[in-house]
Structure 1
Amino acid sequence: MHFEFDQSSPIYQQLADQMEEMIFSGLFPEGDQVPSTTQLSQELHINPATVLKGMNMLVDQQLLEKRRGRGMFVTAGAQEKIMEKRKEGFYQNYVASLIQEATKLGITEDHLLTLIQRGYQNGNTQN
């Protein structure tokens, strides 16, 4: 388990994002317990309140659940929730702007689909 922090956003947000990635990648499998707030704050040398704020973000997103006296655990279906969130983000961040730019360039839907198919056939986006 390795965390990296920078100045791009608050530490609690970066912690939540990195823990989400660890859940998505299976490092923290569904049903498993995640490290405690105390463990993380000591290991990462950050304030326990900062760790708790990041972890509570994941609780609010229903990716982690608190079990009284036992700790926090990855919820069933957490990976699927992350996948759906990322798919929607992909649409918002890439597809919508792709369509907007294609429209400006006069690229029809059919031609855009052809270009996308060409990208898949070539296995990259360099062409």
Structure 2
Amino acid sequence: MKPAFDDRRPIFLQIKEQLEDQIVNGQLQEHEQIPSTTKMVQFYEVNHLTIAKGMNQLVDEGIIYKKRGVGMFVNEGAREKLRQKRKEAFADTYVRPMLQEAKKLGLSEQEVKHIIKTIEEGGET
């Protein structure tokens, strides 16, 4: 079954992020070969240039590397590099705005922690 793509974002980025997810969650290990462009074209049912664009960005970022005539592989340290990048994005996207809003509302650190704990436990705030 062909995966559904978000029409608001470029497909090559979504495919790139799916590969990153597989590396972060351990489905793809260091030095493990990733699926070939041909296999991905068949799976996603998209143009090979779309696949290549996402993969080339991963190569440029040092997440995967090419072995000429063999394929592409997960680079050493790729998982940690991606985890660090995502931690920074998480802080910028979620934590900083949350703390700014908490400050506007005059919430103490303890109140913010309580809200988080309550939500985590499935309760209402």
TMscore range, shorter length: 0.7 to 0.9
What corresponds to 1:87 in structure 2? 87
Contact in 1 for aligned 2:66/2:73 (Cα 8 Å): yes
Contact in 2 for aligned 1:3/1:15 (Cα 8 Å): no
Q: CA deviation at 1:29?
A: 1.2
Q: CA deviation at 1:115?
A: 2.8
In the comparison of the two structures, how many residue pairs are matched?
Answer: 122
What corresponds to 2:53 in structure 1? 53
What corresponds to 2:25 in structure 1? 25
Q: CA deviation at 1:102?
A: 1.7
Please report the RMSD computed on the Cα atoms of aligned residues, expressed in angstroms.
2.0
After TM superposition, where is structure 1 displaced by more than 6 Å over at least 4 residues in a row?
none
Give, in whole Å, the separation in 1 of the partners of 2:8 and 2:33: 28
Give, in whole Å, the separation in 2 of the partners of 1:51 and 1:78: 19
Task: Flag the 1:90–1:59 CA change in 2: closer, same or farther, 3 A.
Answer: same
Task: Flag the 1:20–1:3 CA change in 2: closer, same or farther, 3 A.
Answer: farther
Percent of aligned pairs sharing the same letter: 40
Task: Flag the 1:22–1:3 CA change in 2: closer, same or farther, 3 A.
Answer: farther
Give, in whole Å, the separation in 2 of the partners of 1:117 and 1:69: 53
Q: What SS does the aligned partner of 2:120 have?
A: coil
Structure 2 unaligned blocks of 5 or more? none
**One-letter code aligned to 2:83:** M
TM-score w.r.t. the length of structure 1 is: 0.84
